[in-house]
Amino acid sequence: MKTLVTISNTGINEMVVSNATARHANVIARRTGSMEMGLAKSLLIDVLKAKLQTTAIFWYRKCNGEIRKAYGTTSHALMADKIKGNGYSGEEVNTIKYWDLEKGAFRSLRYENLIAVA
């Protein structure tokens, strides 16, 4: 199912996005006070999630304000032996969970903290 998003005062009047993308945009808009930022970041989240199915390089702002360059994946083949099945979905708490290839551990980031995807 698709949801219609209307953005005012921009070149975009209407855009059709998935329900998940619209939900992400609304969460980010509530947290940042900007629907434009919400939509832009939610589209970037879609790009990141697609790339994480193999491996991805991306940047985000950590809780302490530091900018972090991360190398991550959500590929089952690359992290199958690390999954215990007693965790939770990042979607439940509006975060992106991934396996950090440098640290060798699960990490997460808040939607609005994503900066860029290579």
Domain regions of the chain by residue span: 2-117
Quick one: tokens of 8? 């005012």
Structure tokens at 13: 């009047």
User: pLDDT averaged over the chain?
Assistant: 85
Is the whole-model pTM more than 0.75?
Answer: yes
pLDDT (tens digit, 9 = 90+) per residue, 9-67? Answer: 655 556 677 888 888 888 899 999 988 899 899 999 999 999 999 999 999 999 999 99
Determine the angle formed by the axes of helices 19-32 and 35-52, rounding to 10 degrees: 130
| Residue 1 pLDDT grade (very low, low, confident, very high; cuts 50, 70, 90) | very low
What pLDDT does 82 receive? 75
CA 81 – CA 92 distance, rounded (Å): 23
What would you report as the CA-atom Rg of the chain, rounded to the nearest whole angstrom? 15
Residues 1, 18: Cα–Cα separation, whole Å: 7
- Token digits for 56? 């991805």
